């Protein structure tokens, strides 16, 4: 192969000759820390052998261009993060994000220019400045699927905090394993003797809500345990409690901690025995302020660790690493006193 021809070789050519991806060639050439360490020795040697045999020399200008990043990670939230109704929920995510960004040498850019309409922001608007950042972390209880698909189509690097489904490909996310955590709590209730259960929630058409309900129904069905569904929207806590009691359910699983706390307050005011007359279980941390000091049986969402892992994943994607793009982290059970055996003869 002539030197003239050699000078025209690109990393894509090297990748084709070595039978690997172009990002793998880039990692071998640039020796990017932990990402390079994940490349098998045989693969690395094959790339180096092709480089030696072809006399490939990386274009210095191109290598500079690859490294020319702002070292900025964007943070976009569909809901405002600082109002008192949201701060307690979002703060742990932001702590994990900040801690890991600092460790990796990135600055954070919080996108706040997006107009808030109906309590939610839009990524794509007249003042969209997402590309000021090398990539973006996206948070929000309800996210816009069309916007996320558009980011995928435009090859913009991003990681969502929370599991997200996609029709266009493998969307990168770090989420909590709500289905498994819910299933464990349902299994505990069944072991304690509960034979009719209630699932209480707003039933939003989002992944986090669907995952919880899927874990609930799977475990109940496997054990042939009947259950009822109760909608919380536009209903008072007293009305919800009455409906659960009429159903014969002895354990109520609330999708939102705040709804569980409100119904529990009504139950205690009526003189009901908790957990004898009714067990209360919450499926996660509160997403809005709650007015009870009772430690409700629940599970804790690993929000700080989700923030950490999301930054780590986004940094690896920016480095061209061949990494697992979708992570679900286990939730931590909270053995509160509100789940116990039902009264003899109940449920």
- From 265, 162, 152, 158, select the one nearest 204 (Cα to Cα): 162
Strands in 326-329's sheet, in edge-to-edge order, are 107-110, 72-77, 135-139, 158-161, 173-176, 326-329
Which band of pLDDT confidence, cut at 50, 70 and 90, is reported for residue 84? low
Same structural domain for residues 171 and 308? yes
In a domain, 341, yes or no: no
Nearest to 75 by CA among 61, 90, 60: 90
Residue 6's pLDDT band (cuts 50, 70, 90): very low
Out of 14, 48, 67, pick the residue that ends a domain.
67
Between 285 and 328, whose confidence is greater?
328
In a domain, 272, yes or no: yes
Q: Mark whether 199 and 308 lie in a shared domain.
A: no
* 123 DSSP assignment: S
pLDDT tens digit string along 7-54? 457 778 888 899 988 778 777 876 654 545 568 888 888 988 888 777
Q: Which pLDDT belongs to residue 86?
A: 55
Same domain flag for 132 and 35: no
Last residue of a domain, one of 67, 85, 115: 67
Report yes or no on 345 lying in a domain: no
pTM (2 d.p.): 0.77
Considering its fold, how many domains does the chain have in total?
3
CA dist list (Å): 321 to 23, 27, 70, 89, 133: 7, 7, 18, 31, 19
Q: Give the CATH number of the domain where residue 314 resides.
A: 3.40.50.2300
- Position 340 in a domain: no
Q: Are residues 192 and 79 in the same domain?
A: no
Phi, psi of 12 (to 5 degrees): -60, -40
In this prediction, residue 5 carries a pLDDT of: 42
- Within 10 angstroms of residue 199's Cβ, the number of other Cβ atoms is 24
Contact yes or no for 315/110 (Cβ under 8 A): no
Q: Do the domain assignments include residue 188?
A: yes
DSSP, collapsed to helix, strand or coil, labels residue 249 as coil
Give residue 168's pLDDT. Answer: 58
Residues 160 and 244 in one domain: no
Query: Does a structural domain hold residue 326?
Result: yes
Using a pLDDT cut of 90, give the percent of the chain over it.
56
Give 271's DSSP letter: T
Same domain? For 149 and 109 the reply is yes
Copy the structure tokens of residue 128. 């969209």
CA-to-CA dists, residue 53 to 25, 41, 46, 139, 243, angstroms: 15, 18, 11, 47, 76
Residue 198 has pLDDT above 90, yes or no: yes
pLDDT at res. 119: 67
Question: Is there a single domain that holds both residue 183 and residue 288?
Answer: yes
Within this chain, do residues 185 and 283 fall inside the same structural domain, yes or no?
yes
Across residues 176-181, what is the average pLDDT? 98
Residues 131 and 217 in one domain: no
DSSP secondary structure string for all residues of 275-300: TTT-EEEESSS-SS--------BEEE
Domain boundary among 47, 67, 87: 67
Lowest mean pLDDT among 1-5, 91-95, 187-191: 1-5
Question: Which of 87-101, 112-126, 127-141, 175-189 is the least confident region?
Answer: 112-126
**Domain extent for 20:** 3-67
Q: Is the pLDDT confidence value at 4 over 60?
A: no
Q: Is the pLDDT of residue 3 over 80?
A: no
Do residues 211 and 179 lie in contact, with contact meaning Cβ atoms separated by under 8 Å?
A: yes
pLDDT interval class at 312 (50, 70, 90): very high
Residue indicated by tokens 């129904």: 217
Average pLDDT, the chain: 86
Domain identity same for 167 and 309: yes
Q: Are residues 220 and 320 in the same domain?
A: no
299 vs 182: CA distance, rounded Å: 8
Paired tokens of 259:
């709804």
Of 228 and 38, the one with more pLDDT: 228
């Amino acid at each position: 192969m002539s030197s003239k021809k050699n000078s025209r070789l690109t990393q894509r050519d090297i990748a084709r000759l070595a039978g690997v991806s172009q990002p793998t060639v880039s990692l071998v050439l640039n020796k990017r820390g932990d990402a390079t360490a994940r490349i098998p020795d045989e693969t690395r040697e094959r790339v180096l052998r092709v480089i030696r045999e072809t006399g490939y020399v990386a274009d210095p200008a191109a290598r500079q261009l690859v490294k020319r990043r702002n070292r900025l990670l964007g943070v976009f939230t569909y809901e405002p993060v600082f109002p008192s109704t949201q701060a307690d929920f979002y703060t742990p995510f932001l702590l994990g994000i900040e801690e890991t960004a600092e460790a990796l040498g990135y600055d954070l850019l919080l996108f706040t220019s997006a107009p808030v309409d109906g309590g939610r922001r839009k990524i794509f608007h007249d003042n969209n400045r997402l590309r000021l950042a090398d990539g973006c972390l996206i948070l929000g209880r309800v996210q816009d699927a069309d916007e996320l698909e558009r980011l995928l189509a435009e090859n913009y690097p991003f990681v969502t905090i929370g599991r997200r489904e996609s029709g266009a490909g493998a969307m990168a996310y770090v989420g909590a394993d709500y289905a498994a955590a819910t299933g464990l709590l349902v299994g505990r209730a069944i072991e304690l003797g509960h034979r009719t259960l209630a699932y209480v929630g707003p039933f939003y058409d989002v992944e986090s809500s669907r995952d919880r309900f899927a874990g609930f129904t799977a475990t109940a069905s496997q054990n042939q345990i009947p259950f009822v569904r109760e909608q919380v929207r536009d209903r008072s806590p007293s009305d919800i409690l009455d409906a659960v009691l009429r159903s014969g359910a002895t354990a109520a699983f609330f999708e939102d901690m705040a709804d569980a706390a409100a119904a529990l307050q009504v139950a205690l005011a009526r003189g009901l025995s908790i957990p004898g007359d009714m067990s209360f279980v919450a499926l996660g941390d509160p997403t809005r302020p709650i007015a009870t000091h009772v430690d409700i049986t629940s599970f804790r969402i690993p929000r700080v660790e989700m923030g950490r892992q999301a930054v780590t994943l986004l940094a690896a994607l920016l480095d061209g690493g061949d990494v697992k793009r979708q992570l679900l982290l286990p939730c931590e059970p909270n053995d509160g006193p509100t789940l116990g055996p039902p009264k003899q003869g109940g449920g």
